[in-house]
Structure 1
Amino acid sequence: MELKVGCCGFPVSMKRYFETFNVVEVQRTFYRPPEVKTAEKWRKSAPEGFEFTIKAWQVITHSPDSPTYKKAGIEFENCGFFRPTEVVFMAWEKTREIAEALKAKIIVFQTPKSFRDTVENMENMRSFFSSIEGGFTFCFEPRGWSEENVRRICEELDLIHVVDPFISKQLYGEMCYYRLHGFDYKHKYTDEELEKLLRMSRKGYVMFNNIHMLDDALRFKKLLKEKEG
């Protein structure tokens, strides 16, 4: 498997993006998923071989008091934190439908800092992932968990551990799925940092998610091409 480079979201028009990259992580699915017909339109507009990955809807991962709900203009109760509720499984069905429409193989579950590695939360994850159908590669990006519990839950549920490699090390997964947030959102990676990133990378995905993600991703792609000769 190759190392794919892309952005989290479209920093330019879809047409221009499709001409430059071969993968994108769809962010809209996290806030407020599009209609299936919209996702199908995106798939048809993309070139053959282009890959979509998606973030799971926040209704699965984030509690209703998260500010991201207000940003998306949605209100739900009894949801988030992988709770075994009707609302959470409805959100999964919507996430699954969009993934299938986009022919996405990878779904990223990003949890907030408030989702700690408690017995209850880990048990909810076990219940959730044992209840949903396979056919996808599931990726998990926790915040504030112990390394022991990250490794344990990822091994048990076969989740790719998502990291920013400048901040933490990947603890489980046969491939990498890196999400580059920058040391702050406005961070622009230096040439030296991108060279270090290349040394840290292996087969998988390197996805930039900072304000300079377009330029940083292009520069990293150039480095990768030079290495491959």
Structure 2
Amino acid sequence: MIKVGLTGWGDHPDLYTSSPKQKLQDYTSHFPVVELDASFYAIQPIKNTHKWLKETPDNFQFVVKAFQGITGHLRTESPFDSINEMFQIYRESIQPYKEHGKLSMVLVQFPPWFKCEKENVDYIMRVREELRDFEVAIEFRHQSWYAPDFKHQTVQFLREHQFHHTVCDEPQVGKGCVPLVPITTSNKVLFRLHGRNTYGWINPGNNVNWRDVRYLYDYNKEELTVIQKVCEQLHKQADEVVVLFNNNSGGHSAKNANTFKKMLGIEFEGLAPKQLDLFEGGI
């Protein structure tokens, strides 16, 4: 099974046919899975979780991003008294997704400065223990994890501890990015497409809108054809491939994902009964 979706549901104006309050419902008429990014910036209140669960079809899936305090991105003082408290509250916030059968996986995306070192391996083991009741995908952003001396060990480590591997398509511009490694470590794999904006990846700027620069990219048909081959290769290794387009800045991700879906020749069942032909013609 191959599922195609986007990161977030709030930045894709071409998908919306209803009021701004119904963006998620409109999104679910096009794609069967979404990455929940809000959980990275703050552990979400249970009321939000139940609202989103109620607004989505029975078989809809969420890839829930781990809170930035878990991944090491947090630059300000932690709002929690301890790491134990942070993990406990995070687990409580995502438990309803699992109970309703709508949790695809938890995405733990480590920062570019998270290198392949013993203390970091130990911390990943801490994450595994804290989230032992959940499916967890690991995404690295530092090349050292895939260096020739460590690549095999990285893959074996993920496989041994039942982590899903996150395969990334992104610019190759230094140690703060990872190569595309089409290898699975479990029966499910996450394939995140960040775009190939080399300049924006190196020089995202220092303003609050740096993500608008980094993820500004429109995949062309030739690039999507290569991605399709990678996706099919992954599908031979795993029962389920979850493909998420993260090139949101210029509004390209929804168009690219819809085109990619057509290239794969798949139609998703159980979508919300909304318009399905807004992108007729693709790219």
Same fold (TM over 0.5): yes
Aligned twin of 2:138: 140
| Greater Rg by CA | 2
Alpha carbons 1:182, 1:189 under 8 Å: kept: yes
- 3-state SS of paired residue (1:206): strand
Note the C-alpha offset of 1:139: 0.4
Q: Distance in 2 between matches of 1:226 and 1:63?
A: 36
Relative to structure 1, is the Cα distance of residues 101 and 190 closer, same or farther in structure 2, using a 3 angstrom cutoff? same
Aligned twin of 1:107: 106
Q: How many residues of Structure 1 are paired with residues of Structure 2 in the alignment? A: 211
Aligned twin of 2:89: 94
Moved more, 92-101 or 28-37: 92-101
1:218 equivalent to 2:258? Answer yes
Aligned twin of 1:186: 216
Residue among 224, 227, 235 paired with 1:197 = 227
Moved more, 186-195 or 144-153: 144-153
Relative to structure 1, is the Cα distance of residues 41 and 227 closer, same or farther in structure 2, using a 3 angstrom cutoff? closer
Alpha carbons 1:26, 1:52 under 8 Å: kept: yes
- 3-state SS of paired residue (1:123): helix
Residue among 136, 160, 167 paired with 2:164 = 160
Relative to structure 1, is the Cα distance of residues 45 and 172 closer, same or farther in structure 2, using a 3 angstrom cutoff? same
Q: Distance in 1 between matches of 2:267 and 2:34?
A: 22
Aligned twin of 1:169: 181
Note the C-alpha offset of 1:92: 2.2
**Identical-residue share of aligned pairs (%):** 27
Note the C-alpha offset of 1:133: 4.8
Q: Distance in 2 between matches of 1:208 and 1:30?
A: 17
Aligned twin of 2:29: 19
Q: Which amino acid aligns with 1:136?
A: F
Moved more, 50-59 or 98-107: 98-107
Relative to structure 1, is the Cα distance of residues 46 and 227 closer, same or farther in structure 2, using a 3 angstrom cutoff? closer
Note the C-alpha offset of 1:226: 6.0
Note the C-alpha offset of 1:16: 1.1
Q: Distance in 2 between matches of 1:196 and 1:63?
A: 32
Note the C-alpha offset of 1:163: 1.8
Note the C-alpha offset of 1:89: 2.9
Note the C-alpha offset of 1:153: 2.8
Aligned twin of 2:44: 34
Note the C-alpha offset of 1:194: 1.2
Relative to structure 1, is the Cα distance of residues 227 and 194 closer, same or farther in structure 2, using a 3 angstrom cutoff? farther
Relative to structure 1, is the Cα distance of residues 96 and 48 closer, same or farther in structure 2, using a 3 angstrom cutoff? same
Relative to structure 1, is the Cα distance of residues 116 and 193 closer, same or farther in structure 2, using a 3 angstrom cutoff? same
Alpha carbons 1:105, 1:136 under 8 Å: kept: no
1:76 equivalent to 2:72? Answer no
Note the C-alpha offset of 1:101: 2.0
Aligned twin of 1:82: none
Relative to structure 1, is the Cα distance of residues 198 and 4 closer, same or farther in structure 2, using a 3 angstrom cutoff? same
Q: Distance in 1 between matches of 2:83 and 2:263?
A: 41
Unaligned residue ranges in structure 2 (runs of 5+): 13-22, 171-178, 198-214, 269-283
Relative to structure 1, is the Cα distance of residues 87 and 176 closer, same or farther in structure 2, using a 3 angstrom cutoff? same
- 3-state SS of paired residue (2:116): coil
RMSD: 2.3
Alpha carbons 1:6, 1:208 under 8 Å: kept: yes
Unaligned residue ranges in structure 1 (runs of 5+): 70-74, 80-85
Residue among 63, 66, 71 paired with 1:56 = 66
State the TM-score, normalizing by the size of structure 1.
Answer: 0.83
Relative to structure 1, is the Cα distance of residues 220 and 213 closer, same or farther in structure 2, using a 3 angstrom cutoff? same
